[in-house]
Amino acid sequence: MAVEAPPKPTLADKIYDRLFHNYVWKSIFRTGYPNTPRNQMLIVATNVFLHLHPTRIHRTHVKITHTYCLGGLSFFMFLGLTVTGIMLMFYYVPSVERAYLDIQNITTTVQFGQLMRNMHRWMAHAMVILVFLHMMRVFYTGAYKPPREFNWVVGVILLVLTFLLSFTGYLLPWDQLAFWAITVGSEIAGSAPVLGPKTRFWMLGGFEVGPNALIRFYTLHVIGLPLLAAIFMAVHFWRIRRDGGLARPL
């Protein structure tokens, strides 16, 4: 009795196997495609919004020297910057005629205005330092290795967004220091090969630092970049849960 040969896999089967059964897919989605009741349950049970903190953690994770809480402090700085930034927005207009005067009024006239501005400024510096130290801690402790390599990429994106938030906020006071710092920064971006001139023109909204640059930097600083940072932070926290919690010491 002849045995029929198994059918050859179709192109759709090969694409499905490459997408859902390879190492790249498994490094991003741990529970698999939700085509079974078990996978559907796992997706709900490991949802970061429903279960932000795990029910069980390793005993080494409660030690402050394990992470020095650098990631949590970075997130705390982001929340503080959001609150103080919203308060400053009530008294600031992104106009070349009013920007500098508004900053002066916030510092000298608005009640607790100088406190809010100084908190926003120093928390911005602290966030840059803390995020950088957090990345160094993750690297030197080997916490970026599989299965956490995808979250390492997310962390690098958050580091770049932190730098961009600091850079875009630098122009908003519209003083001499801010003007020439952005001029130098845009010249550096414009010196890049191929896309450099277009990047500089897009950043400034023209060929020099002026009203178009101020409104673009303001929009990016208060809407675009914070929104992106919040999305990637949520993904970052979600990946920590999906990857089994914090990495253990080597």
Q: Report yes or no: 239 and 151 within 8 Å, Cβ to Cβ.
A: yes
Give a yes or no: residue 249 inside a domain.
no
pLDDT at 1 over 70: no
The model's confidence at residue 96, banded by pLDDT at 50, 70 and 90, is very high
pLDDT at 246: 82
Q: Which residues of 24-36 are buried (b: 16+ CB within 10 A; e: fewer)?
A: eeebeebbeeeee
Q: What is the pLDDT of residues 127-181, one digit of tens each?
A: 999 999 999 999 998 899 888 999 999 999 999 999 999 999 999 999 999 999 9
- Is residue 28 domain-resident? no
Residue 50 has pLDDT above 80, yes or no: no
pLDDT in tens, 197-223: 999 999 999 999 999 999 999 999 999
Residue 32 pLDDT grade (very low, low, confident, very high; cuts 50, 70, 90): low
How many domains is the chain built from? 1
Report the C-alpha dihedral over residues 230, 232, 236, 241, rounded to 10 degrees: 80
Q: At 11, is the pLDDT very low, low, confident or very high (cuts 50, 70, 90)? A: confident
Model pTM? 0.80
Question: Would 72 be classed as within a structural domain?
Answer: yes
Q: Domain with 155 in it: what CATH number?
A: 1.20.810.10
Whether the ω angle into residue 147 lies within 30 degrees of 0, i.e. cis, is: yes
Of 50, 245, 24, give the one whose Cα is nearest residue 143: 245
In a domain, 128, yes or no: yes
Position 196 confidence tier, pLDDT thresholds 50, 70, 90: very high
Amino acid identity, position 103 = I
CA separation for the pair 215, 203 (Å, rounded): 10
- Whether the predicted pLDDT of 4 surpasses 90: no
In a domain, residue 115? The reply is yes
What is the chain's length? Answer: 250
Is 111 part of any domain? yes
Q: Is residue 38 assigned to a domain?
A: no
Residues spanned by the domain of 83: 63-242
- 206 membership: H or E segment, kind and range: none
Q: Is residue 73 in some structural domain?
A: yes
